[in-house]
């Protein structure tokens, strides 16, 4: 599994409750552009309409050598999920007010492009600050531990 891109902002803004793996319906120029790593998942999200899941606001840059057959950079792309998975996600989003966000995009060993999506609950500002504080404390402890081992 080779990771193409990770949506770090999602891990900061949301608490991830559950993860799903989905395929994507893409055009040829989109696949070539993704292989070059020209994709941004920063402000994207997943929307469910009529029992189908769609990836919205994911930016895939146009492929330079595609001529007139190039794709629209921020078009809505269909996600390939099982019907039960879509129903489960839709139920959680409607009843509990959760969000569905893309977490990372990767190549499978067979060369297919997959996306990992997560059922997420939004974090409040004080929760984000607390998370940053915990990371800083952890880093300091690691650094002190390394420094202590060097002295011994």
Instruction: Give 51-64 pLDDT, tens digit per residue.
Output: 999 999 999 999 88
What is the end-to-end Cα distance of the chain in Å, rounded? Answer: 40
Residues of the chain above pLDDT 70, percent? 99
**In this model, does residue 152 exceed pLDDT 80?**
no
Instruction: Give 80-92 pLDDT, tens digit per residue.
Output: 999 999 999 999 9
Report in angstroms the alpha-carbon separations of 109 from 1, 2, 3, 113. Answer: 6, 8, 11, 10
Mean pLDDT of 25-52: 92
pLDDT, position 44: 93
**In this model, does residue 151 exceed pLDDT 80?**
no
What dihedral do alpha carbons 106, 109, 16, 12 form, nearest 10°?
Answer: -40
- Model pTM? 0.81
When the pLDDT of each residue in the chain is averaged and rounded to a whole number, the result is 91
**Residue 124 contacts residue 118 (beta carbons within 8 Å):** no
Q: Which domains does the chain have, with CATH numbers?
A: 2-123 (2.40.280.10)
């Amino acid at each position: 599994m080779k990771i193409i891109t990770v949506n770090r902002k999602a891990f900061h803004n949301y608490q991830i409750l559950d993860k799903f793996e989905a395929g994507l319906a893409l055009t040829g120029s989109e696949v070539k552009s993704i292989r070059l790593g020209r994709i941004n998942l920063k402000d994207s999200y997943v929307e469910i309409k009529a029992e189908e899941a769609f990836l919205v606001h994911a930016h895939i840059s146009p492929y330079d050598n595609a001529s007139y057959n190039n794709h629209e950079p921020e078009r809505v792309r269909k996600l390939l999920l099982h019907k039960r998975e879509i129903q489960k996600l839709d139920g959680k989003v409607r009843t509990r007010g959760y969000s569905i966000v893309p977490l990372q995009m990767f190549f499978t060993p067979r060369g297919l492009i997959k996306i990992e999506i997560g059922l997420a609950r939004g974090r409040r500002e004080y929760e984000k600050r607390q998370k940053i504080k915990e990371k800083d404390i952890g880093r300091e402890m690691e650094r002190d531990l390394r420094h202590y081992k060097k002295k011994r």
